[in-house]
Chains A and B, each alone.
Chain A
Amino acid sequence: MKILTQWLRDYLPGLNAPDHQLAEDLTLRGIAVEGVFDLGPGNGSLFETDITTNRVDAMNHYGVAREAAAIYGLTLAPLDMKPQETNPGTPGLTSATWVSAPPGVTIEAPDLCGRFTARVLRDVHIRPTTGIVAGRFKLLEQKQISNAVDATNYVMLAMGQPTHAFDLDKLQGGIVVRRARKGERLKLLDGTERTLDTDDLVVADEAKALALAGVMGGWDSMITAETRNILVEAAWFDPAAIRRSSRRHGIHTDASHRFERGADFNAAPIGNALVTKLILEAGGYQQGEFIDVVIPEAERRTAKRPAIQLAVSEVQRLLGTTEDGKGISAETAEQVLSALGCTLKSTEKGTYLVTLPSWRLDLEREIDLVEEVARVYGYNRFANTLPTFAGTVIELPHATRHSTVRELLLASGLNEAVTSTFCSAADAGLFAPQPGNSVAIGNPLSAEAGMLRPSLLPGLVTATEQCLNRNISNMRLFEIGTTFSGSTDRVDEKPALAFVVTGAVPASGAHHAARSFDFFDAKGIAEALMAKFQYKASYVDAVLLPAWLHPGRSARCVVDGFTIGYVGQLHPAEAQRRKLKQDVLIGEFYLDRLFALPLRQPRLQELSRYQAVARNFSFVLPNSVRWEQVANSLQSLAIPELLSYTPQEIFRADRKIPGIDEQHYALLLSTVFQATDRTLKDEELQAWSQRIIDMVQTLDGKLRS
């Protein structure tokens, strides 16, 4: 909100601090001045302030002045609300003498309207605003409408009370404050016509609703150039009721902003008087009595709340040490709270009964007073101390597994990504591990973000799509994040790891032949990942592959009987849909399952002192024999000295090698033998080689001649 320092100084005759100092002191005490603008000689400055939602009392000049008075220990000038002489020719008017005017005010909804004040002004002159009001509106860049309307706005800026001026001649009968009737219609000052509901509060006359109480006045009873007679209203409305109406109708006004945060119950008569005074400056007179209807129950909840107890020991227990080492004294607490409008009665030593000011509905409890003391004393005058602690630091249960996995992916050359938590319904359908188990957002940011991601892949594949479309063709990304499943009743969150690699393998270039990522790079990541954990058995197969994977170039990874993830090439149909013109390799792992396994604890195998011997075999095998069968058969030979076996090279028919046709392939198998207790003998090696050759023959393979 905008604050003029010249206006503040009206209320603080003793204020000597220059504007910049004032801005800083207010900011450090909770009235955040975010901008100070010099308005030229004699005009003071304009403060752009940001007042927190709990401090509605400071959303006006008088309220800010009260803060400054507390900070500097100054006296706050009273609000000048004595109206100029009313029409001397009609003294002693009472409501009974109102001519064709409301006989009075009836509050039919006392739970929603706690106070209503009204005053009738006659023979007023509607004209443009002049004088101080006009000058200040100009400095504030506040739109001027007419003296009557400007008076209501000026008073709200001055002391925070929203008021309203009705054209009295448009009213029929007395004022009724009531709940709207279902379907009742009301045209508001902004020109819109609203259909009301039964929990909207309206200010009405006997015939119709006049205004949406506390939010906005009505069109039909507004002040116009022809207005001669005015009813000035100032009221106190229930915060929840105003908030409800304001939200339902989507209208946020200066008035609703203040009422819904809790206005000052005692400000209505003052606001009414100030508006009256301003309007009558241009002529006219007050007719009849000033009407002030107070609902005692509402007053008990606000202006006449019971006093609360404050123990200085509690202030000290919570606030601790001050820079001067003395802590907060009883005198300091008393001084601060008095300056803010509280009345303190000392009950026993170090304890007070504190009566709260009507404008501070945010103060309800002892802790609220503790905060006020700290705030006005100045936060930065407290010492910096460190609390002692006898506890221990406990890591998250999977912290080490998590960092092991993350470091492995980083070391594998993949960049860490963080992508959207949301995805489109189409992506959720495709990538969800369990179809139909995805969760929708009720108010999504966009249609593409309508679902909670059931997988990390939508984010990574979308990122890939965007990069490839920008001609960035080499990508290596991984993400560790949360995936969501379940229903609107219950949402399950699980940690997952996903990756994508596509384009050139790093380190290709001038020195090394370029090659692109393929399935085996993706599988290699999966193998390295699994190798970090301790388990009994693992294998990959192509069973139950998800729809996002290429059915011929993908694998399911199974560890100890549980599917822990999938790797492979993005399904060509999906690649085509996203216009991806190169092979994209992806994988996803369910970290909840992987993290159920312990990390592998390396154990040293004693190094043999004896020479290892390598033996290579070149076999021809039918295409139907897969490496897994060869490896399993080698394993079943149970030769303890067989240290390792690797498929060194695979040749297929496309390599045009003699003896290799469309039905067969050549496998260059390299083996290493070593014993821990002796040097291997030729005869032994011969025998083992023969067993390997025999084994391959049982697979319909043979040595290449």
Chain B
Amino acid sequence: MTGYSNEELDASFAKLTDELEHSAQQIAGPDGVEQFRLEWLGRKQGRLKTVSEALLKNAPPEARKSIGQRFNVLKTQVEELLDRATNTGVVAINPAETIDITLPGTQRLLGAEHPLIKTMHEVVAVFQSMGYSVGIGPEVETDYYNFESLNFPPNHPARDTQDTLVIAGQERKPLRDRLLMRTHTSPVQIRTMEQQPPPLRIVIPGKVHRNDAADATHSPIFHQVEGLCVDTNITFSDLKGTLDHAMKAFFGSSVKTRFFPSFFPFTEPSADVQISCIFCGGKGCKKCKHSGWIELLGCGMVDPAVFGFVAQKQPGYDSRKISGFAFGMGVDRIAMMKYGISDISQMYSGDVRFLEQFA
């Protein structure tokens, strides 16, 4: 120790700290820890003992306080290092135990959810949060539920838009009883209304089939989510508000919706719904064919004729007293858009290279 000014004390204690750290690094094994303890904290020969004796004895009274503070910091450091060495430093590490930590980790692989099923669940969840219960129905339907009760009269041109896969051997049955692969999830609307009087809010996910030639965007097998809301005083503006809210919940609050007239035999008025392009925000890009809009849903007010069919079994569906709306969307298209899938057939291929990407 050379002097007692703050600068001189700083330098002295910095040197001591360096020595302390060096000494701590040299600790090897339990013996080393004890040696370290004796070197610094030993009652007779310990460095702290000698430092305190040498400094405090000779220091002028006015420097004692500042020396004491520095001494206490040093002491704490010694104790901390000793603690650490006692807890961890007791096992000597053999350099041969060192591993190459840059090798890939071992993962417990989880299975990947199918993008279609995941999307379908997400859409359903949005409507569940808006008070809709889930409904399902058979994939093999009768002509009555798939067409007639949804106001597709026999031989009506509207049937042409839904090329149908039929079950073999139906020719001798009356048309309404003939079995076919449902072409949409809408039959479940009828089945549900027949079971339950209004008010009703139901969301219907499901697999549907059409006799369509397969290409990149068409598959004879695809999925829909359908919804139905029936109550007194349900209006077209309620339909608009509901779908606008649902699209914002699903795609984000900045998404806008736009409705324009369409035709479905089971709704009137009928509408197609576009959302502002989720890729460009409506400015126009390749994904939305530079229109700024993406067509996503079909919907409309339930046609009174549909209520008429249902009322045969469930008289509560009197179109003069209640009203309702229905909507439906293709899940495949939404999933394809969301995950950048360009070929729909990949979703039904069971190709692990495709599926694993959604883990």
Contact = CB atoms under 8 A, between A and B. Distances in A.
Interface of A: 27-30, 32, 52-55, 240, 243-244, 260-261, 317-322, 365, 367-368, 370-371, 374-375, 379-380, 382-387, 389-396, 399, 409-421, 439-445, 452, 459-460, 462-464, 466-467, 472, 474-479, 481-482, 484, 488, 491, 493, 506-507, 509-512
B167 interface: yes
A238 to B, nearest CB: 11
Given A320-B237, A379-B260, A411-B111, A488 B169 contact: yes
Contacts of B355: 415-417, 477
A478 B353 CA distance: 15
Interface stretch (B29-37, B48-56, B102-110): B102-110
A399 B125 CA distance: 13
Contact of B111 (A243, A319, A375, A478): A478
A411 B110 contact: yes
Given A386-B238, A464-B350, 6 more contacts: A379-B261, A379-B271, A386-B242, A389-B201, A416-B112, A474-B352
A420 B221 CA distance: 7
Contacts of A464: 350
A52 B139 contact: no
A387 B229 contact: yes
Counting from the closest, the 3 A-B pairs by CB-CB distance are A463-B350, A320-B235, A30-B261
Contacts of B140: 439, 452, 484, 491, 493
A418 B346 CA distance: 10
B167 A413 contact: no
B155 to A, nearest CB: 6
B237 A243 contact: no
B348 interface: yes
Given A371-B269, A375-B261, A380-B258, A488 B352 contact: no
B131 A321 contact: no
A387 B231 contact: yes
B170 A442 contact: yes
B168 A441 contact: yes
B304 interface: yes
Contacts of B303: 367
Contact of B350 (A244, A445, A459): A459
A542 B74 CA distance: 76
Contacts of A466: 349-351
A442 to B, nearest CB: 4
A27 B260 contact: yes
B237 A488 contact: no
Contact of B117 (A321, A374, A399, A416): A416
B282 to A, nearest CB: 14
Given A319-B236, A491-B179, A511 B261 contact: no
A224 to B, nearest CB: 34
Q: Give the interface centre of B108, B211, B269, B304 by most chain A CB atoms within 10 Å.
A: B269
B207 interface: yes
B181 to A, nearest CB: 7
Contacts, number: 252
A406 to B, nearest CB: 8
Interface of B: 103-104, 106-114, 116-117, 128, 131-136, 138-140, 155, 157-158, 160-161, 165-170, 179, 181, 199-201, 207, 209, 211, 220-221, 229, 231, 233-238, 240-242, 244-245, 258-263, 268-271, 301, 303-304, 323, 347-353, 355-356, 359
A396 B201 contact: no
B350 A417 contact: yes
7 contacts: A53-B160, A387-B238, A419-B350, A442-B169, A460-B350, A472-B353, A481-B207
Contacts of A383: 237, 240-241
Contacts of A395: 133-134
Nearest to B118: A416
B234 A387 contact: yes
A374 B263 CA distance: 13
A383 B240 CA distance: 7
Contact of A240 (B139, B155, B200, B229): B155
Given A371-B268, A409-B111, A439 B134 contact: no
Given A410-B110, A488-B169, A507-B108, A393 B128 contact: yes
B14 to A, nearest CB: 46
Contacts of A443: 165-166, 211
Contacts of A410: 110-113
A444 to B, nearest CB: 7
Contacts of B259: 379-380, 382
A177 to B, nearest CB: 21
Contact of A384 (B139, B181, B240, B262): B240
Nearest to A480: B117
Given A317-B323, A318-B323, A475-B352, A441 B167 contact: yes
Contacts of A389: 131, 199, 201, 231
A327 B116 CA distance: 40
Nearest to A52: B263
B133 A442 contact: no
A418 B205 CA distance: 15
A385 B108 contact: no
A488 B106 contact: no
B348 A420 contact: yes
Contact of A467 (B258, B323, B352): B352
A479 B170 CA distance: 30
A397 to B, nearest CB: 10
A28 B131 contact: no
Contacts of A441: 165-168, 181
Given A413-B108, A493-B139, A261 B157 contact: yes
A379 B240 contact: yes
Q: Give the interface centre of B160, B200, B241 by most chain A CB atoms within 10 Å.
A: B241
A384 B237 contact: yes
A439 B139 CA distance: 13
A320 B231 CA distance: 14
Contacts of B116: 418
Contacts of B131: 389, 391-393
A417 B118 CA distance: 11
Contacts of B353: 467, 472
Q: Give the interface centre of A27, A439, A443, A478 by most chain B CB atoms within 10 Å.
A: A443
B318 to A, nearest CB: 13
Contact of A416 (B106, B111, B233): B111
Nearest to B357: A415
A244 B157 CA distance: 11
B105 to A, nearest CB: 9
Nearest to A465: B350
A385 B235 CA distance: 9
A439 B199 contact: no
B342 to A, nearest CB: 18
A467 B350 contact: yes
Contacts of A29: 260-261
Contact of A318 (B158, B235, B260): B235
A368 B151 CA distance: 14
A243 B155 contact: yes
A419 B348 contact: yes
Contacts of B107: 506-507
Contacts of B166: 441-443
Nearest to A28: B260
Contacts of B109: 413, 476, 506-507
A487 to B, nearest CB: 8
Q: Give the interface centre of B161, B166, B263, B347 by most chain A CB atoms within 10 Å.
A: B263
Contacts of B135: 396
B133 A393 contact: yes
B17 to A, nearest CB: 42
B260 A32 contact: yes
A32 B242 CA distance: 24
Q: Give the interface centre of B103, B117, B181, B352 by most chain A CB atoms within 10 Å.
A: B352
A473 to B, nearest CB: 10
B157 A439 contact: no
A496 to B, nearest CB: 13
Contact of A488 (B167, B351, B356): B167
